[in-house]
């Protein structure tokens, strides 16, 4: 475990854009130890991120000072809760270049995608003609890609089962990128919606959305971008994206669990029927039938996750103070270093793009002769938290012929010491399982 690792060529530690030590001091959880006193090396931000004190404080501030249901009640607390909730909507919208009336709060990305999928199938039977514009039915097609998280695959499979539409998909190249060679046939005049991730949670790939959006526009299809792994890690502006929907999760971007965002172009949102119905989203209710508020309220039934929304606004402000371009550059430097370091370990194969061109900081790999779960176990014993399995993207591991992968993901508090710990941990796993090959065998990617 204390073996000295020789640095491979190209694995230089260029100065990191973010001050890792100062940032770590903002995250209380990073000062705890795990597994009998070991430093916590948290390389699982892709699953969920840790929270800085300012986010924890924002939630606590709400409960201690304001707690009330927004948009209900005539008392001072209700007024203040409404103001805080709507101010948070403005902050979060501005973060992605959107006006507040295009920002819908959901529980997470999964719920945001389901909201759109159910609205599109509800549209077919809506009694209001203005809600039928985007209805999906028999003969229509929905397009996804083979690299989608299950959250951006199953809702579309289910939509197709409900409506009789057909699901089609874009495949992957051997080096972990989208195969766009048949884009013009897969996305065609029958396509109603294209749902695609901006950054793959398992391969790290950043997708060429411009090409996909342009083709969707040619055929009049809607585009939903899954930003669960991009919005936390790079600057995303909906006016540049050109899509109709963007979804992301608060808990992956330093914010609380239980809050996500559906951004939608106002005219598209306005033409969709509700998904969930109940309080807070109605105009007039009679026993014979009801009418609904305009967006975003039409899609926010019930008392919302107010403290979480306020916590997410604090997370956005924290990221804005760091600067999203800096955040991306930071992760790019770490990724370049980690790819070179891992590649120098014989028996390690990186699944996904081999370089940092259009690539984020999710690094999936296999270690010859050791099951990914066993790699994860050895790393955990060393205090290193990674994710193992199919990462809710089962078709991807199937495509690359592996049962599962070990995945490390980086964020603003990640430093070179974390990457070194990971690489040293992989070598330790090889020693533990007696599969440490000789150094000159080289690794693949």
Judging by DSSP bridges, how do beta strands 141-145 and 166-170 pair with one another? parallel
Output the smallest distance, CB 111 to ligand PLP, in A. 7
Which is closer to ligand PLP, CB of 109 or CB of 328?
109
Nearer to ligand PLP, 108 or 163 (CB): 108
Residue 312's SS3 state is helix
Residue 411 in tokens: 């964020």
Sign of the dihedral defined by the CA atoms of residues 7, 11, 16, 20, in that order:
negative
Cβ density class 177-187: b for 16+ within 10 Å, e for less: bbebeebeebb
Closer to ligand PLP by CB, 148 or 332: give it: 148
DSSP 356: S
Helices (H), 33-182: 53-65, 76-95, 109-123, 154-163
Q: How many CB atoms lie within 10 A of CB 153?
A: 24
Locate 55 and state its tokens: 């986010």
Would you say 136 or 151 has its CB closer to ligand PLP? 151
Q: Using CA atoms, how far apart are residues 63 and 70, in angstroms rounded to an integer?
A: 13
By beta-carbon proximity to ligand PLP, the closer residue of 59 and 226 is 226
Distance CA 343, CA 157 (A): 37
Q: How many CB atoms lie within 10 A of CB 362?
A: 25
CB of 27 to ligand PLP, least distance (A): 20
Asked about 160 being catalytic, the answer comes back as no
Burial group, residue 239, by CB count within 10 angstroms (0-12, 13-18, 19+): exposed
Task: Give 341 or 405: the residue with its C-beta nearer to ligand PLP.
Answer: 405
Partners of residue 145 on adjacent β-strands: 170
**Which of 392, 397, 423, 443 is the catalytic position?**
392
Q: DSSP code of 189?
A: T
Shortest distance in whole angstroms from residue 22 CB to ligand PLP: 28
Which stretches of the chain bind ligand PLP, using CB under 6 A? 108-110, 149, 151-152, 197, 201, 226, 228-229, 249, 392
Q: Give least dist CB 316 to ligand PLP, A.
A: 16
The span from the CA of 203 to the CA of 174, in Å, is 11
Quote the least distance from Cβ 152 to ligand PLP, whole Å: 6
The closest alpha carbon to 119, from 278, 273, 245, belongs to: 273
Tell me how far, at minimum, the Cβ of 248 lies from ligand PLP, in Å: 8
Q: Give catalytic residues, as residue numbers.
A: 392
């Amino acid at each position: 475990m204390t073996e000295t690792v020789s640095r491979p060529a190209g694995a230089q530690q260029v100065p990191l854009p973010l001050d890792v030590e100062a940032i770590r001091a903002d995250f209380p959880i990073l000062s705890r130890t795990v597994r009998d006193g070991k430093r916590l090396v948290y390389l699982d931000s892709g699953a969920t991120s840790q929270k800085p004190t300012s986010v924890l404080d924002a939630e606590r501030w709400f409960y201690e000072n304001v707690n009330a249901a927004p948009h209900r009640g005539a008392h001072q607390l209700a007024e203040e809760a409404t103001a805080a909730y709507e101010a948070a909507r403005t902050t979060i919208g501005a973060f992605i270049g959107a006006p507040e009336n295009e920002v819908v709060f959901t529980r997470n990305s999964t719920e945001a995608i389901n909201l759109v999928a159910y609205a599109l199938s509800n549209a077919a039977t809506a009694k209001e003609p203005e809600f039928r514009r985007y209805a999906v039915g028999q003969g229509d097609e929905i397009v996804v890609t083979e690299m989608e998280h299950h959250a951006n695959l199953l809702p579309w499979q289910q939509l197709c089962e409900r409506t009789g539409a057909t699901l089609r998909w874009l495949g992957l190249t051997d080096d972990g990128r989208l195969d766009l060679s048949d884009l013009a046939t897969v996305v065609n005049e029958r396509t109603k919606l294209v749902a695609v991730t901006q950054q793959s949670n398992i391969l790290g790939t950043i997708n060429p959305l411009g090409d996909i959006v342009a083709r969707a526009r040619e055929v009049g299809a809607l585009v939903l971008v899954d930003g669960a792994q991009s919005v936390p890690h790079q600057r995303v502006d909906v006016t540049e994206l050109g899509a109709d929907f963007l979804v992301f999760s608060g808990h992956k971007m330093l914010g609380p669990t239980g809050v996500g965002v559906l951004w939608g172009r106002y005219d598209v949102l306005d033409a969709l029927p509700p998904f969930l119905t109940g309080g807070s989203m109605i105009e007039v209710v009679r026993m014979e039938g009801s009418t609904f508020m305009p967006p975003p309220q039409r899609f926010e039934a019930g008392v919302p996750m107010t403290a979480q929304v306020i916590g997410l606004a604090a997370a956005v402000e924290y990221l804005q103070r760091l600067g999203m371009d800096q955040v991306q550059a930071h992760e790019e430097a770490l990724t370049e270093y980690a790819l070179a370091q891992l590649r120098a370990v014989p028996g390690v194969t990186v699944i996904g793009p081999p370089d940092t061109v259009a690539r984020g900081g999710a690094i999936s790999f296999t270690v010859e002769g050791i099951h990914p779960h066993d790699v994860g176990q050895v790393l955990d014993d060393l205090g290193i938290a990674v994710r193992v399995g199919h990462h809710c993207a089962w078709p991807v591991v199937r495509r690359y012929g592996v049962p599962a992968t070990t995945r490390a993901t980086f964020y603003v508090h990640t430093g070179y010491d974390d990457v070194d710990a990971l690489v040293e941990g992989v070598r330790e796993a090889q020693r533990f399982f007696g599969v440490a090959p000789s150094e000159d065998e080289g690794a693949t990617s």
